[in-house]
Structure formats: C-alpha cells, structure tokens
C-alpha cells in the first residue's frame, strides 16, 4: 500500500460466494468514503492456497502464502471477517493468523500491533453473535491491536449473499468509517502508537 491509509479487509471464508466477504466489503466501502487518502482492498482466503502454519520465519514462505502475508504487513488498518463454525472463527483464518508475526520469533515486524482492527462475523443464526467478543477480540488483543468494535450478521440479514438488513448495513458502514478514524488517531498519538501487547 502507498502513503495513504491502507485498510485491508480479510475475509476468512473459503467459499468463493461468501456472505462474510460481502459484509467485509460493505465496511470497506464506507472506509473508502471516509475521506481522502484511504485505499482499501480485500484478501479473501478462498482465493489463496495457503500452506499450513508450522512456525517457519516470515521470509521462508513462498507463493500465495507469502503474497497474503505481504499484504497484511503492508496494510495500516484492517477489517477482519469470518464465518462462525462451532462458535468460533474459521480454521482458515486461524491458520493465517498463526503465520502473522508478532515482532518476535518469526520476524521483526508486527503488523497488527497498535493497528486499528474492525471485526465482522457471520453465522447461520443469532446464537453465534458472541463469537466477535469471545473469539475474535481476544486473538487481536494477543497481537496488541486496537479493536474498533464488531458486527455480527446472521443468514436472515442477507439476500443472495448481499447485506440486506438496513441496521446491519449501517453498523458495518459505521465500523468501516470508525476503523479509518481510529487508525488516524493512532498515527497522531504517541501513546496509542506505542501501547502494544503487554507480554
């Protein structure tokens, strides 16, 4: 990404026709409209053939895996979405996150540290709405990210895999704009930009 605020949407679904991607893109559209100097793009895991995380260093990955990780490292802020399976985020997203460095061990970069991250989850019913706070939020706390907030959308909120519920769409749009706002606030603040993970 360039000198603009780069917001990367990560769709942690392996389905090519994905409600999760649609929800992430809805948030990114609002982020893109949040003012000059914003660039957005989508990293959809269905389009990448990722290897299984095995603890190797960042510079040892090749092909799709290296390309996906390069996009994460290059971004300034993130909207991360996942379908919910068995009350948790997807195995594909878990595998990707296991390869993202934290400034130690695998590489000296920590892309999520002190970055603004908006969270999105989709599921069959409203029973899974706590996945945002109980599953996604803790893993990004581990990385030392600043979580903006989260949005949950169930199957009833979509038509033909597009967000159809007005309230959910509005919340996703607010999430996208807020992710940009928080990213800019972090960039301007010495304290927000240096908090990082405690351990």
Mean pLDDT split into 10-residue runs, the chain, 199 residues: 83 96 98 90 98 95 98 98 95 98 91 98 94 96 96 97 97 98 96 92
Contact (CB, 8 A) for 117 and 77: yes
What was the pLDDT predicted at 199? 83
- Over residues 50-75, the pLDDT tens digits come to 999 999 999 999 999 999 999 999 99
Pick the CATH number of 5-189 from 3.40.50.360, 3.40.50.720, 3.40.50.1000, 3.40.190.10: 3.40.50.360
> Given this model, what pLDDT does residue 88 score?
95
- For 99-106, the CB contacts below 8 A with 24+ separation are 99/50, 99/53, 99/58, 99/61, 99/65, 99/69, 100/69, 100/72, 100/143, 101/58, 102/142, 102/143, 102/144, 102/197, 105/55, 106/55, 106/56, 106/57, 106/58
Here the tokens at position 81 are 């979405």
CA 54-57-61 angle, 5° bins: 75
Q: State the helix-helix crossing angle for 63-74 and 91-99, rounded to 10 degrees.
A: 70
At 36 the pLDDT is: 81
The four Cα atoms 93, 160, 131, 128 give a dihedral, to 10 degrees, of -140
Q: How far apart are CA 118 and CA 82, in angstroms?
A: 12
Centroid of chain to Cα 139? 11
Q: Summarize pLDDT for 22-44 with one digit per residue, the tens.
A: 999 999 999 999 878 999 999 99
Name 106's Cβ contacts closer than 8 Å, sequence gap at least 6: 55, 56, 57, 58, 99
Please tell me the pTM assigned to this model: 0.95
Rounded to whole angstroms, the Cα distance separating 93 from 40 reads 19
Query: Which pLDDT score, from 0 to 100, does residue 104 have?
Result: 85
Contacts of 11 (CB under 8 A, 6+ apart): 18, 20, 21, 24, 42, 43, 44, 45, 46, 81
Could you tell me the CA-to-CA distances from 177 to 38, 75, 116, 194 in Å, in that order?
10, 16, 11, 23
pLDDT value of position 150: 96
Q: Would you state the pLDDT for residue 80?
A: 98
Every domain of the chain and the residues it spans: 5-189
């Amino acid at each position: 990404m360039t000198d603009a605020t780069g917001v990367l949407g990560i769709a942690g679904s392996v389905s090519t026709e994905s409600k999760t991607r649609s929800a992430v893109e809805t948030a990114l559209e609002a982020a893109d409209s949040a003012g000059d100097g914003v660039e957005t793009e989508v990293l959809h895991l269905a389009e990448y053939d990722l290897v299984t995380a095995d603890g190797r260093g960042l510079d040892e990955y090749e092909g799709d895996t290296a390309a996906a990780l390069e996009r994460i490292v290059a971004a300034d802020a993130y909207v991360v979405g996942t379908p919910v399976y068995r009350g948790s985020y997807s195995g594909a997203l878990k595998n990707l996150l296991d390869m993202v460095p934290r400034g130690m061990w695998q590489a000296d970069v920590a892309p999520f540290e002190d970055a603004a991250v908006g969270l999105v989850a989709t599921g069959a019913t409203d029973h899974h709405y706590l996945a945002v706070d109980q599953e996604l939020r803790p893993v990004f706390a581990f990385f030392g990210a600043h979580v903006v907030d989260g949005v949950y959308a169930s199957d009833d909120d979509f038509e033909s895999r597009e967000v159809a519920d007005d309230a959910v769409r509005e919340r996703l749009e607010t999430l996208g704009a807020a992710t940009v706002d928080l990213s800019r606030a972090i960039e301007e603040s010495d304290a927000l930009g240096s908090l990082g993970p405690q351990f």
